[in-house]
Amino acid sequence: MARDRHSKYKNTGILFELLVRQITNDMMLGNENSPAVSLVKEFFRRGTSLNRELELYQTLQKTKFNSAAKAERLIDTVVLEFNKINKALLNKQKYNLIKEIKRCYIIEDFFRTKVPTYKMNASIWSILEGNGISPTKTVNSRYFIIENITEPKSKKKKINEVEGELTKHDKDLRLLSYKILLEKFNSKYGSRLGVSQKRLLRAYIENISNTNTLREVVSDEIEVISKAISLLSKKVKDKVVNIKLNEVKMQLIKIKGIKTINETHILSCMRSHSLIKELKNVTK
């Protein structure tokens, strides 16, 4: 019964996603030689048992069928393929991966990162690790996966753009594409990114697939920005500048009402932070 409890340490889908997100954090902090990049290349390269298992996780996460019968058949097929993997070799690779993660990072901080697909990954783990898992948990996990597979495309959550690129192409090309995403922001602000801007950018990249969380983060950020602009506008004597400041606040309020946050909205907030910085310098 002890094995009934899900373990992030043993979940290949979660391990991979956490590494992807760690690459984000490392690059945001200016670490171009992220240890996570090397770990992805080494442990998830083609031919490894971890790569084979990851492909099975992603098959169940991304495949869509219009019938529960087909979903059931897919799950059974995935389980059969999983049983073909050398478990001794797979467990050894997981052990070595965790060992390397501990060597490169503070393990508690590494696993503290929230994973939007946690429930789906945990359900897949329960299906694949059937021995020792309670019948109730196994059935619940199976039906959760079936519901995900048969969910209409219109309701399907937006796939994390970074992870999507990382799982479609050759490993080096995926990581290069991911790096370009970050450089797209850096080319606009260069080394002038402030603490608030870095925090906002990090939240955007980590929550691209989590619409509700991202909207809440941006909403809170807009509250902070609006209050700062209101306080600083009282010190600005130029009427034209004050009119412009009010326009900025109105634009930010409009963003709060938008359901899906995109890159343009994030840039608007980041520009607002730059504006606040300039106003503070002028009103000193």
159 and 113 in one domain?
yes
Report the C-alpha gap between 85 and 60 in whole angstroms.
17
Q: Are residues 100 and 13 in the same domain?
A: yes
Do residues 90 and 138 both lie within one domain?
Answer: yes
Q: Are residues 154 and 240 in the same domain?
A: no
Residue 172 is predicted with a pLDDT of: 47
User: What radius of gyration, in Å, describes the C-alpha atoms of the chain?
Assistant: 22
Is residue 40 in some structural domain? yes
Residue 177 lies in a domain: no
DSSP labels for 219-264? HHHHHHHHHHHHHHHTT---HHHHHHHHHHHHHHHHHHT-SS--HH
Co-location of 20 and 118 in the same domain: yes
Q: Which of 122, 138, 171 is the last residue of a domain?
A: 171
| pLDDT of the chain, 284 residues: tens digit per residue | 445 577 888 899 999 989 988 887 776 666 667 898 899 999 999 999 999 999 999 999 989 999 999 999 999 999 999 999 999 999 999 999 999 999 999 888 888 877 888 999 999 999 997 666 788 888 899 999 999 999 875 444 444 544 454 444 444 444 444 454 455 555 555 546 677 877 787 777 666 656 788 888 889 889 988 888 888 888 877 777 778 888 888 888 888 888 888 777 888 888 888 888 877 776 66
* Domain span at 150: 2-171
- Residue 184 maps to a domain: no
The domain boundary, picked from 140, 171, 202, lies at 171
Nearest residue to 56 via CA among 28, 29, 76: 76
Q: Does residue 215 sit in the same domain as residue 154?
A: no
Q: What total of structural domains would you count in the chain?
A: 2
Residues 125, 77 share a domain: yes
Same domain, 223 and 150: no
The CA distance from 226 to 171, in Å, is 42
In a domain, 176, yes or no: no
Domain end residue (candidates: 138, 171, 204)? 171
Neighbouring residues of 151: CB distance < 8 A, sequence distance ≥ 6: 64
pLDDT score of 86: 95
Q: Which pLDDT score, from 0 to 100, does residue 125 have?
A: 93
Are 156 and 202 in a shared domain?
Answer: no
In this structure, the answer to whether residues 213 and 138 fall within a common structural domain is: no
Q: How far apart are the C-alpha atoms of 254 and 258, rounded to whole Å?
A: 7
- Report yes or no on 13 lying in a domain: yes
Shared domain check, 129 and 7 = yes
Domain presence at residue 228:
yes
* DSSP 3-state of 92: helix
3-state secondary structure of 44: coil
146 lies in the same domain as 260: no
